[in-house]
Chains A and B, each alone.
Chain A
Amino acid sequence: MPIARLARTATALATLSAGGVLLAACGGSTTVNPAIPAAEAALAAGDIECVEGKIQSAGSSAQANAITEWVNVYQTACPDSTIDYQPVGSGAGVEAFVSAQTSFGGTDKPVVEEEMQAARERCANSPAINIPLVGGAIAVAYHIPGVDELTLDPATLAQIFASEITRWDDPAIAASNPGVDLPDAAIAQFHRSDSSGTTANFSDYLEATAPDAWDYDTGKEWTAPGGQGAKGSDQVIASVAQTPNSIGYIELSYILDAINAKPVAIDQGAGPVLPTANNASITLASSEVTGDDGNIVLAIDYTTQVPGAYPISIVTYEIVCTSGLDADQNPELVAQFLAFAASNSGQQLLGEIGYVPLSGDLLEAVRASVETVIQGAGG
């Protein structure tokens, strides 16, 4: 086997296993539990208050790794507590919560209108609220041999993903990248072949920032022409890593340990910004908060001009009862688990595993909402 080929195979395998890193992290370890130091730190900071018992929850798979991390740390600190989160998808998660099978639900989109009414009835007619707890970002990864930095503006990005710009040496790309030697090669564009909230958020972003170039559906299905589909963010990043002259969009965590693939910096007029947890956090903190009485719905400002703000940011919500949860569904444990998630310790954990910690006024609002839930659970 020639060396070049060997190297390529090794790269592919390494990328493949990179997707498995997060899985391995929750698979439990043989000697040292990695959650112990985090649990000790959170206990020392007073961010964890233990409540005995067991709760069931289900919802969005986008936040599954974040919840799993919190559950690990919380259960390590409180051995008598069990929190079960099933990543069944947002729709099924809300359904399970509304039909009182679970103590709380996780969802990519806030629960509104009819569903909110049903959620209220499920909470014995106490208000149900959306609490954004997990921030995230979508990175655009590219792989051009020899090109270490690439900046794109939203319109060019949209045209690439709509297959209107099909070659790397297109003038529109060159304009944002002076001095970069772009190859005379076709753009291999990768998108998600499975239904995905990542696709929905990414196309939402393109529609908001480049309405002239993006004229396709913004749902969970990719509807733009051309490009190649790959299953899951892990396959998209693996395809980008494997295919020279390619580009694709993925959840932030997948760019952290990617090989070959590099993140595209987005320039919306305030200079190029790379996808990092901190940069995305700035966008979330400067986005408008709507909702009342503890219900928090975030209108993410995709067109943000704040310096250093990475615009393709997302947030996922927990839908919870402010009170009225049956005693056997353990409202105290729900409240204390949410309190830990919203604490400094909880949010800090997010940044370490490729999510985006909440900050600023948004985090204050979230903590106020969690306080409402704690009051409701106690009373």
Chain B
Amino acid sequence: MSLLTPPKITGSSVRAGDRNFRFITTGAGLTVLAVLAAIAAFLVWQSIPALQENTGNVLTNQLWLPDADPPQWGIAVLIFGTLWTSVIAMAIAVPIGIGTALFITFYAPRRVARTLGFIVDLLAAVPSIIFGLWGLYYFMPEIVPAAQWLSTYLGWIPFFSNDLDLYTKSILIAGFVLAMMILPTVSAISREVFWQVPKGHIEASLALGATRWEMIRMAVLPFSRPGMISAAMLGLGRALGETIAVALILSAVFDINWQITEPGGNSIAANIALKWGEAASNGRSALIATGMVLFFITLLVNMTARWVVNRRREFSGAG
């Protein structure tokens, strides 16, 4: 860190260029903070009316009737669906993403590595509506047999069971599509992190007779752990906030249902996209209130990630 702090220059010898550049960069930094504060203030301000009018318990109510008389709505279903779809997406995307990055960095021949890396990055450039439509019209019919298999043979695990005999528009499908959307984020950042592992560590472990797997386990992974956590958290941030793909795929019913192969699920962002158009004033205010919750969840996730990364850094020898 000390390298980033230049020696303090005092007196009249400060150059105009230095001073101006400092103002510009400080200004840029402050702009970000100001925008964030403005968003938070807007969300809080706009959500107050709906929170005051709400006759249901905002934390436990499982209805969405903010424009009814009396208004009644809650965020439990939305928070549950947002987190549950994201957890499934993470469970799929993080191992695959890190695996892809390891393959590209340490196993693949150079030419294959370059092409594969390029293709993975390309996946990040696909707009989310495309993922949504692909998931809805192509992927969903294809995944139904797999979901049936899961519920038939692994149905004794509660969240795989399916009492309805219906397998479309489920949290599982949304989780898969979300996983594909966050895969490039997880993979690209992990790849950059693996490149940062000092060549000395890698060569030393190989020189000591480690196999490639042992080298990765003992030299690469410990050094890269904070970076991999950052990668996963950035992916999680995107999964939490993903809107249109989830809005298209999920059944968007107001019901807490752990069974991931049954139709169901909902998320904060998808709900906003689906309800905003026809919402009256109180409905919009209630939607903004859910947006505020998502905003704070995302802040919390990122702050936790920072904290984990900083705590781990001391032990990993990184930084």
Q: Does B121 contact A (CB under 8 A)?
A: no
Contacts of B280 in A (CB 8 A): 91
Cα A5 to Cα B138 in complex, Å, equals: 9
CB contact between A229 and one of B65, B250, B283 (< 8 Å): that residue: B250
CB pair B137–A220 under 8 Å, yes or no, is: no
Interface residues of B in 54-84 (CB under 8 A from A): 63-65, 67-68
Instruction: Identify which of A6-14, A74-82, A253-261 touches chain B.
Output: A6-14
Contacts of A221 in B (CB 8 A): 64-65, 275
Cα A221 to Cα B64 in complex, Å, equals: 8
CB contact between B164 and one of A61, A91, A186 (< 8 Å): that residue: A186
Q: Does B168 contact A (CB under 8 A)?
A: yes
Cα A226 to Cα B169 in complex, Å, equals: 12
B65 and chain A: residue at smallest CB distance: A221
Give, as a whole number of angstroms, the nearest-CB distance from B81 to chain A: 12
Interface residues of B in 121-155 (CB under 8 A from A): 133, 136-138, 140-142
Per-residue CB contact flags for chain B residues 193-205 toward chain A (1 = under 8 Å, else 0) read 0000000000000
Given known A-B contacts A193-B247, A221-B65, A243 and B168 have beta carbons under 8 A apart = yes
Q: Does A16 contact B (CB under 8 A)?
A: yes
CB pair B137–A219 under 8 Å, yes or no, is: no
CB pair A186–B275 under 8 Å, yes or no, is: no
CB pair B64–A227 under 8 Å, yes or no, is: no
Per-residue CB contact flags for chain B residues 155-187 toward chain A (1 = under 8 Å, else 0) read 000000000111011000000000000000000
Instruction: Identify which of B86-94, B210-218, B231-239, B251-259 touches chain A.
Output: B251-259
Cα A4 to Cα B300 in complex, Å, equals: 47
Contacts of A9 in B (CB 8 A): 137-138
Number of interface residues of A (CB under 8 A): 37
Cα A16 to Cα B133 in complex, Å, equals: 10
Contacts of A217 in B (CB 8 A): 65, 68
Cα A238 to Cα B65 in complex, Å, equals: 27
Number of interface residues of B (CB under 8 A): 33
CB pair A188–B133 under 8 Å, yes or no, is: no
CB pair B138–A228 under 8 Å, yes or no, is: no
Contacts of B283 in A (CB 8 A): 195
Q: Does A225 contact B (CB under 8 A)?
A: yes
CB pair A13–B274 under 8 Å, yes or no, is: no
Contacts of B168 in A (CB 8 A): 188, 228, 239, 243
Cα A144 to Cα B274 in complex, Å, equals: 28
CB contact between A194 and one of B65, B136, B254, B274 (< 8 Å): that residue: B274
Q: Does B29 contact A (CB under 8 A)?
A: no
Interface centre among B64, B248, B274 (most CB of A within 10 A): B274
Given known A-B contacts A193-B274, A219-B67, A225 and B137 have beta carbons under 8 A apart = no
Contacts of A243 in B (CB 8 A): 168
Given known A-B contacts A186-B164, A219-B65, A231-B247, A193 and B138 have beta carbons under 8 A apart = no
Give, as a whole number of angstroms, the nearest-CB distance from A266 to chain B: 25
B280 and chain A: residue at smallest CB distance: A91
Contacts of B250 in A (CB 8 A): 193, 229
Cα A316 to Cα B141 in complex, Å, equals: 37
Q: Does B277 contact A (CB under 8 A)?
A: yes
Contacts of B278 in A (CB 8 A): 89-91, 194-197, 220
CB contact between B277 and one of A194, A219, A222 (< 8 Å): that residue: A194
Give, as a whole number of angstroms, the nearest-CB distance from B118 to chain A: 26
Cα A16 to Cα B129 in complex, Å, equals: 14
10 new A-B pairs (CB below 8 Å) besides A9-B138, A194-B278, A229-B250? Answer: A193-B247, A194-B274, A219-B68, A220-B278, A221-B65, A227-B253, A228-B166, A230-B251, A238-B137, A242-B140
Residues of A within 8 A of B (CB): 5, 8-9, 12-13, 16, 61, 89-91, 166, 185-186, 188, 193-197, 217, 219-223, 225-231, 235, 238-239, 242-243
